[in-house]
Chains A and B, each alone.
Chain A
Amino acid sequence: MDLHLSAALPTEQERLAVDAALGIPSSGWTGGVRDIAVDGRTAASGHAARAERHLLLPALHAAHARAGWISPGALNYVSQRLDVPPAETYSVASFYGMFSMEPRPARVIHVCDDIACLTRGAGAICEQLENKLGPPGSAWLRSPCLGLCERAPAALFTEAGEHPREEALAPATADALCQIANSGVIPPGSPGNSVPQAGQPQLRLLQRIGKVNPQSLADYRAHGGYEALRKAVDMGPAAVIREVIASKLVGRGGAAFPAGKKWETLHNSRSNGRPHYLVCNADESEPGTFKDRVVMENDPFALIEAMTIAGFAIGAQRGFLYIRGEYPLATERLLHAIGEARAHGLLGAGTHFDIELRRGAGAYICGEETALFNSIEGYRGEPRNKPPYPTEAGLFGEPTVVNNVETLINVPGIVLEGGAAYAAIGTERSTGTKLFCLSGHIARPGVYEAAFGATLREVIDLAGGVSGSGRLQAVLLGGAAGGFVTPAELDIPLTFEGTRAAGASLGSAVVMLFDDTIDLRKILLRIAAFFRDESCGQCVPCRVGTVRQEELMHRLAGNHPLVSVTQEAAVLRDISQVMRDASICGLGHTASSAIESALKRWSIFQ
């Protein structure tokens, strides 16, 4: 295949930015200076060049951060550098919500108008911005959940240029956002308290938060850091995996799959001659979820140590940390932590394991493990069909373990105390402690840690109870892919089995409260819009189903059903069943679960 490029050329700045991400091109064939003596009798494309395709997303990030959009010239240059056909580069770039394929001002404010922020005034902020800055699309954009729910209403500031800037703005006011949009100057704000329990002695996963300097490896070690890795190395991979299995640790990403089982599969295939990969899923994008962000921002070394232990146990030499693009501070802290760990011989040269951080670019679907692989590999973040499962054919087609951030940070404690001691915490089938994301109408929003077994009421009490009007209307449990429960259901134990038995789901442990002033119809419409927006579009049930679901919800909310409300309800049942039964991945399977759960509990539409 020969690349067919248009005549558009990158600007010098775009070229330098892409080169900064990819290195200087080695030949005229890949975008460097053409030199007949060097390039005249060789062709530098082919397998070697194509093996670099996994750098496509980082290269696009670089171009976008420089120019504020992906220009045809930059697209050509990136395509040429990586030997990717321009149509495919365009197909990948246009997949991500954070990339603009049209010229846009350098400075953009992404305003979260998702459900947690809606309960805290995001609607009014958007209205005011529309009056002052014009309709969304250039200076400001509406954004799905930014994962800053404990500080809602939230916004994200991005500025392209030689020194691109990205910063979370939360809590935000319309006036402050307008000022920042116009001046680019961000007044220093207080980071707020995302972990109200910080400092309490019973904490395990959050034990160091607020005490440790997140930018100091020495301080992390002074707080017990890297003791677990030392012990793990002494024990050897097989013993580490035995402890993880004994701990009964299950994945915290939503699917609750036993972590030890995945690790064991890879450990058993360690001599098959194929590379093994560890992937940490930090693409935390479920509306209402922010626990992983808080941990990564405040205790980044904990995740790096945990990944190192995991990599050691499963026999992986490379680990990928895939973090959502909307988390600039966490990204910065993790990159710093990886650098420090390398400098001190804990990663990279001289060790058997290294970690690469990869940033997403605004796509909820990339949290699905196989979509995440495709995203890292430089393809569209479309989920793959399973089987084969990742432990058999995952990243780059090789055996891979994918673990969520929260799952991994449980590991050092398991190594230090032993699996049996860990399994004694929590309940029989949900062991250990769990991080909960409390937001909405709650007195002290934030991340809370509680042993499995605590009821919904106890967790709400931990956070100071209902705020707003003080009269609770509904709780969203597990995020947009989870479901609603009523105030009468607060005694549900927040365990995997307890929520399932109650017809709910623990999901990503979102606990979002809505007081009785909230119009639940608006919340349901936002959830429907979220899934319509985030469907990757690959399979028909989800691509069209999420659209038909949203249309139907609008008809119900506007009180103009096609035939009758009863008939609409029957159509909605069909839509959700086909999405659940026939979609490729979990996004489609759960795209109607919150809406269904609400309609089951309340007669919202008459």
Chain B
Amino acid sequence: MSDPTNAAAPNPLIPIPRGPVPLAPPAAARCQIEITIDGRKLSVPEGTTLLEAARSIAIDTPTLCYLENLTPVNVCRVCVVELEGSRTLVPACSRKAEPGMSIQTDSERVRLSRKLVLEFLASSVDTSTAPALRSYMERYDAHPERFGASAATVAQPVKIDNELYVRDYGKCILCYKCVEACGEDAQNTFAIAVAGRGFAAGISTEFEIPLPESACVYCGNCIGVCPTGALMFKSEFDMRQAGSWDESRQTQTDTICPYCGVGCTLTVHQQDNQIVRVTSPLDQQVTDGHLCIKGRFGWQFVQITAPAGPPPASTPKDAA
């Protein structure tokens, strides 16, 4: 304290007069890039993907493995566009705009590739709960039946090994979204990954062990991103089995999760006065569309369910 060199040090007890709170340095202005899409010239900020550029001028590009809250993996190839000078088509979801690029989003080559990708998927996967894929099929005039009735499929029994959600990999188009959501892009749990190779590849835990034995924490973020209903709330699955699932009778209500202080926005899907599904909006800053087990599944307490049988027998511990 008596060190003379420290004499000018501010006394922590005396408040220092404060100026205005400094602002974060302005983000470096992104260069604008000139590109041409379907003959229309436009200028987009550097780093924009072709998909974003196309969307900015209201060109609707189909996507299956792309989602705003995940890293693009560009595996489904349904978003391919024709880039002048490129030998092959390029995936719009991940290819970034470069100065002078000229893109065709609806050329014959593009339409053929999109049509074939959809035919490939629809001929090998059960698309009954994949409305987006089906609407694309109509748009691109896809006829999966032209590969014949004996075309190989990924049909397999539904995996029901827990009370919260089911995995019907006969509906899986291997878009990698659930793997990303389980791993690096959201939950950091890494309970599932793509196993095997080629047409036999599939989403799997290690040695295909049941979910309760795996690292799964039941955040349900895999269900949240699944584009085909291969991953589904058990509640929705049961109602579909019973024939009572009816989206036209459902309402969606946005609310805040009551559990903790994070304040995630929940979209509660309700049918017949029962909560049948909970999601979170993708554009919601707190969640980016992802939730945890409580927000996703922990809403049984707000609804009356029919008693499922005799009350549970008391355990020795309770007796003691």
CB neighbours of B205 from chain A (8 A): 87, 90
Chain B residues near A101 (CB, 8 Å)? 207
Question: Which of chain B's residues has its CB closest to A560's CB?
Answer: B148
Verify B195–A539 contact, CB threshold 8 A: no
- How far, in whole Å, are A88 and B188 apart by their CA atoms in the complex? 12
A582 and B117 in contact (CB under 8 A), knowing A101-B207, A544-B199? Answer: yes
Q: In the complex, what distance in Å separates the CA atom of A250 from the CA atom of B256?
A: 62
Q: How far is the CA of A545 from the CA of B190 in the complex (A)?
A: 29
Q: How far is the CB of B71 from chain A (nearest CB, A)?
A: 11
Count of B interface residues, CB-CB < 8 Å:
51
Identify which of B78, B148, B215 contacts A562 (C-beta below 8 A): B148
Q: Is B161 an interface residue (CB 8 A)?
A: no
B89 A581 Cβ-Cβ under 8 A:
yes
* Interface stretch of the complex, out of B50-58, B120-128, B245-253, B300-308: B120-128
Tell me if A1 and B189 are in contact (CB < 8 A).
yes
16 further interface pairs, Cβ-Cβ under 8 Å (given A95-B196, A541-B116, A543-B199): A1-B188, A75-B206, A87-B191, A87-B192, A87-B214, A90-B193, A91-B194, A380-B194, A535-B198, A537-B196, A537-B197, A539-B74, A539-B76, A543-B201, A544-B121, A582-B116
A-B contact pairs, 11 of them (CB 8 A): A95-B197, A532-B199, A537-B194, A537-B198, A541-B77, A541-B116, A541-B117, A548-B123, A578-B117, A578-B120, A580-B88
- Of A208-216, A351-359, A569-577, A592-600, which stretch is located at the interface? A569-577
Q: Are A571 and B146 in contact (CB under 8 A)?
A: yes
Interface size on A, residues (CB 8 A): 51
Q: If A541-B117, A582-B117 touch, does A87 touch B193 (CB 8 Å cutoff)?
A: yes
Contact for A581 among B95, B109, B173, B201, CB less than 8 A: B109
Chain A contacts of B195 at CB under 8 A?
A: 90-91, 94-95
Partner among B77, B174, B213 whose Cβ is within 8 Å of the Cβ of A582: B77
Interchain CB contact under 8 A, B198 and A543 = yes
A548-B151 in contact given A90-B206, A537-B197, A582-B80 (Cβ < 8 Å): yes
* Across-interface contacts of B173 in A (CB, < 8 A): 540
* CB neighbors of B among A509-531 (8 A): none
Q: What is the chain B residue whose CB lies nearest that of A577?
A: B112
B87 to chain A, nearest CB (A): 8
The answer to the question of A536 belonging to the interface, with a C-beta cut-off of 8 Å to chain B, is yes
Q: Which residues of B contact A72 (CB under 8 A)?
A: 206-207
* Distance of A548 Cα from B200 Cα, bound (Å): 14
The reply to whether B146 and A562 form a contact with Cβ atoms under 8 Å apart is: yes
With beta carbons under 8 angstroms apart, the residue of B76, B151, B199, B204 that contacts A91 is B204
Q: Complex formed: what's the CA distance from A380 to B209 in Å?
A: 20
Mark out the residues of chain A between 553 and 606 whose CB falls within 8 Å of any chain B CB in the assembled complex: 555, 562, 571, 574-575, 577-578, 580-584, 589
Contact across chains for A539 and B77 when beta carbons are under 8 A apart: yes
Closest-by-CB residue of A relative to B72 is A385
- When C-beta atoms are compared, the residue in chain A nearest to B217 turns out to be A4
Cβ–Cβ < 8 Å partners of A3 in chain B: 215
CB of B150 within 8 A of chain A?
yes
Interface string of A60-90 (1 = CB under 8 A from B): 0000000000001001000000000111111
* B289 vs chain A, min Cβ distance (A): 21
Whether B198 contacts A546 by the Cβ 8 Å rule is yes
Cβ contacts under 8 Å, B199 to chain A = 532, 535, 537, 543-544, 546-547
Taking the closest CB of chain B, its distance from the CB of A26, in whole angstroms, is 23
Report if A533 contacts B (CB, 8 A).
yes
Whether the Cβ atoms of B206 and A87 lie closer than 8 Å is yes
Contact between chains at A540 and B121 (CB < 8 Å): yes
Q: Given the complex, which residues of B lie within 8 Å of A271, measured CB to CB?
A: none
- Measured between alpha carbons, how far is A89 from B95 in the docked complex, in Å? 30
Closest 8 CB pairs of A and B: A4-B215, A91-B193, A85-B190, A537-B201, A544-B120, A578-B116, A90-B206, A86-B206
How far is it, in angstroms, between the C-alpha of A534 and the C-alpha of B196 when the chains are bound? 11
Q: Which residues of A contact B194 (CB under 8 A)?
A: 91, 380, 537
Q: How far is the CA of A535 from the CA of B209 in the complex (A)?
A: 25
**Interfacial residues of chain B within 69-98, with CB under 8 A of chain A in the complex:** 74-78, 80, 88-89, 91, 94-95
